[in-house]
Amino acid sequence: MRSAFDFAPFRRSTVGFDRLFDMLENSGTGQAQENYPPFDLIRLGENDYRIELAVAGFQPNEIDITAQQNVLIVSGKKKEESDNKGSDYIYRGIATRSFERRFALADHIQVRGADLKDGLLAIELVREIPEAMKPRKISIGGEQPASQQTLEAQREAENA
């Protein structure tokens, strides 16, 4: 099933966004989205983010966080509780089912760390753009940027 929106005009006028358009076109297809566990996405700063997942009842050793290229996978598998074998639940409202939540990450997003406190799993993310990818001023006429001139001057001093 194709998306109701046609991305062809954007594909013609952009370079390197194929992955984004593919993701947008395929987002409505496939299996239904799972709503468990609920989560919040928080922007802390220009390059800092946090994902908070409500994982009440899970211990840190029952949760697995895997960062792959452009994908963050958070999964949880509740261990069998032997303590409550004799217990007879009248109502069980705290979900203890296994889950897997996937988050698509933009390029250069790194997982800084994770913490579990009061039933909330907080995953800290940061965008770390490599120096070579940051914008730089290009001069016309063959002049080198000042930083390049400084590097060459240092090399000449080392060779002398």
Instruction: Tell the residue number behind the tokens 């939540």, with chain if given.
Output: 101
Distance, in Å, from the CA atom of 152 to the CA atom of 131, rounded to the nearest integer, reads: 18
Tokens of 55: 């994982």
Tell me yes or no: is domain 35-135 CATH 2.60.40.790.
yes
In this prediction the pTM is 0.64
Start and end residues for every CATH 2.60.40.790 domain found in the chain: 35-135
Mean pLDDT across the chain: 80
pLDDT at 95: 72
- The rounded radius of gyration (Å) of the Cα atoms in the chain is 24
Ranges of the chain with pLDDT below 70: 1-4, 26-34, 81-86, 142-155, 160
Q: What is the DSSP string of 63-88?
A: EEEEEETTEEEEEE-PPP-STTTT--
The model's pLDDT over 54-82, given as tens digits with 9 standing for 90+, comes to 998 899 999 999 998 888 999 999 877 65
